[in-house]
Structure 1
């Protein structure tokens, strides 16, 4: 997803903030993974679920 697409999805008017976030934010990959896992488990409800993300954006 390009910067403009992320910006539109976040309902922002300009991409500046999204670009700044993606270009200069410091990410702890383990914490992001853990937060994402917790969020997905809340939505799906099973620890056996698998999340697959690829460039096609089609559900698997």
Structure 2
């Protein structure tokens, strides 16, 4: 006996509860804006930022945690 109710089991056809993806112009859409893929290595998006609240305060080289 399956653990899931019949309406929660995998069925053939399209799922009426699925949300359709937003329309896009293609995979080059992010490249047009110059923003790298967030999963891409080194996608820091700009200059390194200071870890401190105020730029004149010293910051540790490593995190305390």
TM-score greater than 0.5 by the shorter chain: no
TM-score w.r.t. the length of structure 1 is 0.19
Tell me: higher relative CO, structure 1 or 2? Use CA pairs within 8 A at least 6 residues apart.
Answer: 1
Larger proportion of helix = 1
TM-score (norm 2): 0.18
- Rg (Cα) greater in structure: 2
